Amino acid sequence: MTKPVALLFDVFGTCVDWRASIARDVAKAALAKGKRFDFFAFADDWRANYQPSMEVVRSGKRPYTKLDTLHRETLVELLGKYGLPLSEPEIDDLNFAWHRLDPWPDTVAGLTRLKTRYLLSPLSNGNVRLLVDMARHAKLPWDTVLSTEVFKGYKPQPQTYLGACDMFGCEPGQVMMVAAHNNDLLAAQKLGLQTAFVARPTEYGPHQKVDFAPEGEWTLVARDFVHLAELLDV
Amino acid sequence: MTKPVALLFDVFGTCVDWRASIARDVAKAALAKGKRFDFFAFADDWRANYQPSMEVVRSGKRPYTKLDTLHRETLVELLGKYGLPLSEPEIDDLNFAWHRLDPWPDTVAGLTRLKTRYLLSPLSNGNVRLLVDMARHAKLPWDTVLSTEVFKGYKPQPQTYLGACDMFGCEPGQVMMVAAHNNDLLAAQKLGLQTAFVARPTEYGPHQKVDFAPEGEWTLVARDFVHLAELLDV
């Protein structure tokens, strides 16, 4: 293989553990109101509306809308379902739990090693501000923060992958997409990007049904980000 | 004043000393070929075509074209004028001298202090890759790298300032534009951004004619980036 110039990372599930982090912040908000329920179920429900809410944008039924806005709409519904009354500022704060997601244990160590040789950026459906705040919170050492927001779309729309390559001044073959999701890698591969699969078998907790293993001819398959650095000779 | 959430920085001249850095790399390329001429004059000539080359894009006569491409076109002309024959790879390398500009002495110290409280990004006409490479070279601690390339335009086009505010999830009044150029600040101020002027009186060497002093009602006027940090209470 020819070494890539730049690595693009899926973020939710690949770099950070959204489920545990969201459950934690939901717990904090609920317990402050004397409410108890299954905080992980709340996190799962929130995430369950992720693809449907983006699909309305991808299909053209709705103009580009930031993920922060989509997340907040889902949150308001769930606060009703779970019986957790919050003020508008409290809703805003809980919605920003997605800006405060914790990294997997290997994420920062792996990225730090990879940065010694490769340009690094997220390519996430999270909006720029979400990813910038998360980079500060989780100490993710990005060179820049590319979001699909920059391309006014959502993965797997082609302009998001190709736009990111263009911003790095690279041909698709000079860029590697890193993700824990086979469908993300498939979309990138079809456009000519290199691909690396890193399994995150606990992303969805006990409900995980897919992505336990690579399901395509990916350029690399790594156990974690430190292993990815080893495979990429850094 | 209400403190801003994010600071946007002009880069060429404000954060980095393009003139000395370009002259240095031109000298290196010329001396390697046994050629000697006024390397600073070459740098000045290169920069002199900066605004004209962007104006062709701003006026709509040419679709958005990366600054790397505009720089290269000017470079090829100047190599003829100065009689410096270079190969295509050598031209590419010298063109990337703009990716290797050195910071002013106070830049990194000031940005590092400012980052403890504010979100920081460039807002430069340099393309993303140029700015990413420069951030590595000059150790500029950006939170993300916003370029006018993201908005397919060039300052002072309004969509560049407003687009950057939107990426930070901010109203214009929550964002401060920092520049050594009064015209950049005037364009930002008209759109509602806060403004900070930092004089760089040696940017153009002995040929500097403007921007020795603030020429508008800017929110702040600082001697350098460390002073700016003091004025912003960090």
In the block, tokens 């702040």 appear at B220
Q: Is the dihedral of CA A121, A145, A203, A152 positive or negative?
A: negative
Last residue of a domain, one of A99, A129, A157: A99
**Which residues of chain B are under the pLDDT cut of 70?**
none
Q: What is the Cα–Cα distance from A165 to A174, expressed in whole angstroms?
A: 8
The alpha carbon of residue A135 is apart from the nearest alpha carbon of chain B, in Å, by 8
Bridge partners of A122, per DSSP, are A9
Residue A66 sits in the same domain as residue A152: no
Indicate whether B184 belongs to any domain: yes
The enclosing domain of B48 has a CATH number of 1.10.150.240
Q: Residues A5, A174: contact at Cβ < 8 Å? A: yes
Residue B108 sits in the same domain as residue B72: no
Q: Residues A39, A26: contact at Cβ < 8 Å? A: yes
Q: Report the pLDDT averaged over residues A121-129.
A: 98
Residue A124 sits in the same domain as residue A227: yes
Residue A166 sits in the same domain as residue A95: no
For residue A122, the chain B residues in CB contact (below 8 A) are: none
DSSP-derived letter for residue B16 is B
Contact A168 B119 (CB under 8 A): no
In the block, tokens 């070494």 appear at A3
Q: Residues B165, B186: contact at Cβ < 8 Å? A: no
Helix-, strand-, coil-residue percentages of chain A, each rounded to 5: 50, 10, 40
Per-residue pLDDT for A211 more than 90?
A: yes
The alpha carbon of residue A139 is apart from the nearest alpha carbon of chain B, in Å, by 11
Instruction: Report CA dihedral (B127, B130, B131, B137) to the nearest 10 degrees.
Output: 180
The size of chain B, in residues, is 234
pLDDT of residue B1: 81
Indicate whether B211 belongs to any domain: yes
For residue A145, the chain B residues in CB contact (below 8 A) are: 143-145
CA-based nearest residue to A232, from A109, A110, A124, A107: A110
Contact A145 B149 (CB under 8 A): no
Whole-structure pTM value: 0.97
Residue A52 belongs to domain spanning: 18-99
CB-count exposure of residue B39 (10 Å: 0-12, 13-18, 19+): buried
Residues in CB range of A161: below 8 A, 6 or more apart? A8, A123, A155, A172, A177, A187, A188, A191, A193
Q: What is the Cα–Cα distance from B122 to B8, expressed in whole angstroms?
A: 5
Indicate whether B129 belongs to any domain: yes
Indicate whether A211 belongs to any domain: yes
pLDDT of residue A218: 98
Q: Is B72 on the interface with A (CB under 8 A)?
A: no
Residue A73 sits in the same domain as residue A169: no
Residue A218 sits in the same domain as residue A112: yes
Residue A36 sits in the same domain as residue A81: yes
Indicate whether A137 belongs to any domain: yes
CB-count exposure of residue A208 (10 Å: 0-12, 13-18, 19+): middle
Per-residue pLDDT for A58 more than 90?
A: yes
Residue B168 sits in the same domain as residue B224: yes
CB-count exposure of residue B167 (10 Å: 0-12, 13-18, 19+): buried
For residue B142, the chain A residues in CB contact (below 8 A) are: 144
Task: Summarize pLDDT for B105-145 with one digit per residue, the tens.
Answer: 999 999 999 999 999 999 999 999 999 999 999 999 999 99
Indicate whether B1 belongs to any domain: no
Indicate whether A1 belongs to any domain: no
The alpha carbon of residue A170 is apart from the nearest alpha carbon of chain B, in Å, by 9
Contact B169 A66 (CB under 8 A): yes
Last residue of a domain, one of A99, A115, A138: A99
CA-based nearest residue to B196, from B213, B179, B183: B179
Residue A59 sits in the same domain as residue A147: no
Residue B140 sits in the same domain as residue B66: no
Give DSSP secondary structure letters for A109-150: HHHHHHHTTSEEEEEESS-HHHHHHHHHHHT---SS-EEGGG
Indicate whether A63 belongs to any domain: yes
ipTM above 0.85, yes or no: yes
Residue A105 sits in the same domain as residue A189: yes
The enclosing domain of B227 has a CATH number of 3.40.50.1000
In the block, tokens 């860029």 appear at A175
Contact A169 B68 (CB under 8 A): yes
Using alpha carbons only, how large is chain B's radius of gyration in Å? 18
Q: Is B5 on the interface with A (CB under 8 A)?
A: no
Nearest CA in chain B to A145: B144
Give, in degrees to the nearest 5, the angle at Cα A103 between A101 and A104: 135
Q: Report the pLDDT averaged over residues A159-187.
A: 98
Residue A183 sits in the same domain as residue A193: yes
pLDDT band at A70 (very low <50, low <70, confident <90, very high): very high
Last residue of a domain, one of A99, A129, A148: A99
Q: What is the Cα–Cα distance from B115 to B6, expressed in whole angstroms?
A: 10
Q: What is the Cα–Cα distance from A121 to A144, expressed in whole angstroms?
A: 6
Q: Residues B47, B74: contact at Cβ < 8 Å? A: no
- The count of domains in chain A is 2
